[in-house]
Structure 1
Amino acid sequence: MPNARPVPTVRRRRLGEALRRFRSQAGPEGKGLTLEEAADLLARLDKEAGGDGGAWTSPKLSRIETAKAHIRAAEVVHVLKAYGLSEKKDAEVFTALEGLAKHAGQKGWWQTYGGVVAPAYADYISLESDAESIRIWSPQLIPGLLQTAAYARETIAVNATTRTPQEVTALAEVRMARQAVLSRPEGPLKLWAIIHEGVLHQRFATRTTLMRDQLRRLVEVAELPNVTLQVMPLDARPHPGTTGGFSLVGFPGPMPDVVLLENLIGASYVEAVGEVEVFADAFERVVASALPSDDSLALITRRMEEGIRT
């Protein structure tokens, strides 16, 4: 049976893009190496180290950079050294890229949900588990990492119109399990979420207390030191966030951020560094237009108390 072609996961794409970037900065005076030049260099260094050099070809490098081929952690080290990086001086780079190589095809806890979790969603959960920080602008819904189970189920049922009740329940369970990143022992995820004031006024006919409980959850989570929560007021001045929501996922060390965009049929990613910077600048402008954290928390609390009285 022929070997299965590797799936181009986000982890593998990030690794390939990083190696391509370092190749473009390698060579004499940092002017970069072509694929052919890089392959010749890697083959020569491999021979000098006792190998036969035959494994390094320009087609192989191209497949690695485009996430169509695997690369082992030891090979990552060989490539980085060939491109002029030092394991001592550039330790963060080596650690980050070796980690991506080791875990590019690794299955996570979400795989136990089988076909319920779509590949694009599985990619995002793996990014979220690797991330150091996430910045979210969510104008329509409470972000998944801040949702109660009841809110998650109701909003999934509304948007996942082709899903069975059993699949909706499973997806709600997945969303709740994702929230473990906010309290993980090895370092909680830093979350900065901005929601629109209109979201605080959502109503659910099936459960009149659902939104009150959700607002209470926001108040509780906002007290965590790794969570920043802001509300965009109804009378806010115009800002770039009016074009739609997005999430900026940040990673430790040298790895660039990734942007997630969602719609009814799934998710897409923005990974090019220049394009990601556009969203990073937009997020800063959204932050400036939103209420400060203390005022936001006061507004959420008032809305929650209004719900209790009614």
Structure 2
Amino acid sequence: MASSPPLSKLRLSRMLRESREASGLTADQVNEKARELGANKVSASTITRIERDEWVRPKLEVVELLLDVYDIKDLAARDEYFRLAKEARRKTWWRNYDDVIESTLIGLEPGASRIRDVALAVIPGLLQTRPYARAVIVGAGIVDAEEIDRRVEARMLRQQILAPAAEGPKYWCILDESALRKVPAEMRDQQIRHLLEIQRPDLRIQVLPDSAGLHAAIAGGFTLLDFAEDSGLAYTESAASQRVHDDEEDVEAFDQVYSYVSASALGIQESVQLLESLIS
């Protein structure tokens, strides 16, 4: 599965954290050793941000300094750190839309082997038709016409990873029936037909029917991302923030919730039948 700059940056952050821990140094001690090497670029707070993957574009000189502090001398090992740092700096299409979208999830999706969504209120962006995407964006309070257009265009570009020819991630979605019923009437048939047409063995949709009642994800939807060579992640968002959960226990908890909700949802064929019943 292909990598992506955000995934490379996340890998680099994890590797640097593991290297610091293996060296037995605290963030403050890293800062002290860096000063001894004549550098004043890595405060303890900077180390913390790097290890939490909160830096924007890794600086090669900072990576090199940390490798020196951690006494990593093997050339092949150092090359891998630098390779990830360079990949993390590579420009991507979504950087052209940084002014109108939050790109954390978008940047991780291309590198995933499987994406699983639990969507309760809105059909996920990866499955939206252009008219529905526009309606969702306007419904969120965006009024500037140019910004609306750019957000819609970014959403359509994002969906390219699910094209059959893209050899992208598998995509599984659990979609609450109420989200389907909230689609504006004038575009509901088109949106539902789109959901029916795009399904295939590696892109499947389960509908969580209203009859399921209370369920394990009642507190909110989320996205799970699996990777061929990295541990999985969970992603949640609210009106105020977006968060990537990489703690193993947290991800396992989300995975368990997904399993519970999947068991409460309709099977694939039953979901198809429900979708068909909603077409006028």
TM-score (norm 2): 0.77
Deviation at 1:299, TM superposition (A): 1.3
Number of residue pairs aligned between Structure 1 and Structure 2:
266
Q: Which residue of 2 aligns with 1:178?
A: 158
Q: Deviations over 1:178-218 (max 9, x none)?
A: 0110127562211110001122222426xx2x110000000
Distance in 2 between residues matched to 1:143 and 1:270, nearest whole Å: 19
Per the alignment, do residues 237 and 162 of structure 1 end up closer, same or farther by CA in structure 2, a change over 3 Å counting? closer
Helix, strand or coil at the partner of 2:103: helix
Per the alignment, do residues 165 and 75 of structure 1 end up closer, same or farther by CA in structure 2, a change over 3 Å counting? same
Q: Which has the larger radius of gyration?
A: 1
Deviation at 1:105, TM superposition (A): 2.7
Q: Judge conservation of contact 1:35–1:62 (CA < 8 Å) in 2.
A: no
- Judge which range, 66-75 or 183-192, deviates more: 66-75
Deviation at 1:173, TM superposition (A): 0.9
Q: Judge conservation of contact 1:146–1:179 (CA < 8 Å) in 2.
A: yes
1:269-308 pair list within 5 angstroms: 269-304=244-279, 307=280
Q: Judge conservation of contact 1:11–1:127 (CA < 8 Å) in 2.
A: no
Distance in 2 between residues matched to 1:204 and 1:213, nearest whole Å: 11
Per the alignment, do residues 102 and 165 of structure 1 end up closer, same or farther by CA in structure 2, a change over 3 Å counting? same
In the alignment, which of 172, 177, 202 is matched to residue 192 of structure 1? 172
Q: What one-letter code is carried by the residue in structure 2 that aligns with 1:251? A: F
Q: Deviations over 1:212-265 (max 9, x none)?
A: 000000001112x321210101111543211111111222202x2222222234
Q: Which residue of 2 aligns with 1:141?
A: 122
- Are residues 1:15 and 2:20 paired? no
Unaligned runs of 5+ in 1: 1-8, 28-32, 44-52
Q: Deviations over 1:115-147 (max 9, x none)?
A: 223xxx122211122222211000111111111
- Are residues 1:112 and 2:87 paired? no
Distance in 1 between residues matched to 2:252 and 2:220, nearest whole Å: 16
In the alignment, which of 37, 57, 62 is matched to residue 47 of structure 2? 62
Unaligned runs of 5+ in 2: 1-5
Deviation at 1:102, TM superposition (A): 2.4
Identical aligned residues as a percent: 30
Q: Judge conservation of contact 1:222–1:297 (CA < 8 Å) in 2.
A: no
Structure 1 residue ranges (4+ consecutive) displaced by more than 6 angstroms after TM superposition: 81-85
In the alignment, which of 228, 234, 241 is matched to residue 259 of structure 1? 234
Q: What one-letter code is carried by the residue in structure 2 that aligns with 1:239? A: H
- Are residues 1:212 and 2:196 paired? no
